[in-house]
Amino acid sequence: METNAPKRRDNKKSLRVKVISLGNAEVGKSCIIKRYCEKRFVPKYLATIGIDYGVTKVQVRDREIKVNIFDMAGHPFFYEVRNEFYKDSQGVLLVYDVGLRESFDALDSWLGEMKQEMGSQANMDSIVFIVCANKVDLTKRRVVDEGEGRLWAESRGFTYFETSAQSGEGINEMFQAFFSTITDMCENGGKRPVAEVNVGFTKEQADTVRRIRNSKDSWDMLGVKPGATREEVNKAYRKLAVLLHPDKCVAPGSEDAFKAVVNARTSLLKNIK
């Protein structure tokens, strides 16, 4: 499979890379980039029309990196404009608004759109993904907590940052990590550094914690049909208990998920003859 090998300029120490921003409309993609490049924040919403393009130069260790930033419009209306720009990216900023759950839930479909548009060239292992949980300054309206966001990101081998384009929190740290991981990847022959992926828990564990958090009732939590028998409930419980037991699972939120599963089983068994 092809890698998204960056274009080298004559000087061996300089690199040219392409990064894109992805996420629902109004989550703050353009403001994050503006905060980093121009050190300012614009409170008024100016929707990106299709795509914005900019270039910035950064220094990582002894290398000068010329970064081409393609800031995508999040609105579905601009799909036809966006879809041309996914190819040949070395880095992706995946942004959601911590006050809007649907913008967090949409991250999977953004990855889906990207994979689809990259087609046969899609080699997601040679792209660095950073997840920005943005607008953390608006603490009162926050609905997606850090554990949930971190879990989604790290279970996929992506780095998670809490950011605020408004206050600047996390922005420089996030971009520094982004560009230095991209540089590491380029020096590693176009493969994302493995250390980023090794988080000590499996994707199945992470996905199960997430499913449990979002389940609508005890049946749903245990993954059995309403009206299931004692045996079915116990069987489902045992499987989840092995997967999520705090001695075995270090995924963020697994302890709470484990307790929730214990409680769900207790309450279901009370009502099953």
Q: For binding to Mg ion (CB under 5 A), which residues are involved?
A: 29-30, 48
Token pair of 60 as six digits? 């990582």
| Selected range binding ligand GTP among 5-13, 39-47, 54-62, 237-245, rule: CB under 6 A | 39-47
Closer to ligand GTP by Cβ: residue 30 or 218: 30
Contact between 25 and ligand GTP per CB under 6 A: yes
Among 73, 118, 224, 236, binds ligand GTP (CB under 6 A): 73
Contact between 26 and ligand GTP per CB under 6 A: yes
Map residue 243 onto helix, strand or coil: helix
- Between CA 90 and CA 127 the distance in angstroms is 5
Residues 129-158 that bind ligand GTP (CB under 6 A): 134-135, 137-138
Minimum CB distance to Mg ion, residue 126 (Å): 26
Contact between 165 and ligand GTP per CB under 6 A: yes
Minimum CB distance to ligand GTP, residue 204 (Å): 32
Cα distances (Å, whole numbers) of residue 259 to 146, 251, 255: 19, 14, 6
CB-facing half-sphere around the CA of 72: CA atoms within 13 A: 29
Among 16, 63, 75, 101, binds ligand GTP (CB under 6 A): 75
Contact between 100 and ligand GTP per CB under 6 A: no
Contact between 252 and ligand GTP per CB under 6 A: no
Whether 122 and 153 have beta carbons less than 8 Å apart is answered as: no
Minimum CB distance to ligand GTP, residue 116 (Å): 19
Contact between 83 and ligand GTP per CB under 6 A: no
Contact between 117 and ligand GTP per CB under 6 A: no
Minimum CB distance to Mg ion, residue 55 (Å): 17
Residue with tokens 């260790």: 61
Residue 1's binding partner, choosing from ligand GTP, Mg ion, none, with beta-carbon cut-off 5 to 8 A by kind? none
Please state whether 225 falls in left (phi above 0), alpha (psi between -120 and 50) or beta: beta
Cα distances (Å, whole numbers) of residue 25 to 7, 41, 94, 106, 258: 30, 17, 12, 11, 35
Cα distances (Å, whole numbers) of residue 269 to 41, 96, 136, 214, 218: 54, 39, 41, 21, 11
What residues contact 84, with CB distance under 8 A and at least 6 apart? none
Residue 31's binding partner, choosing from Mg ion, ligand GTP, none, with beta-carbon cut-off 5 to 8 A by kind? ligand GTP
Residues in contact with ligand GTP by CB under 6 A are 23, 25-31, 42-48, 73-75, 134-135, 137-138, 164-166
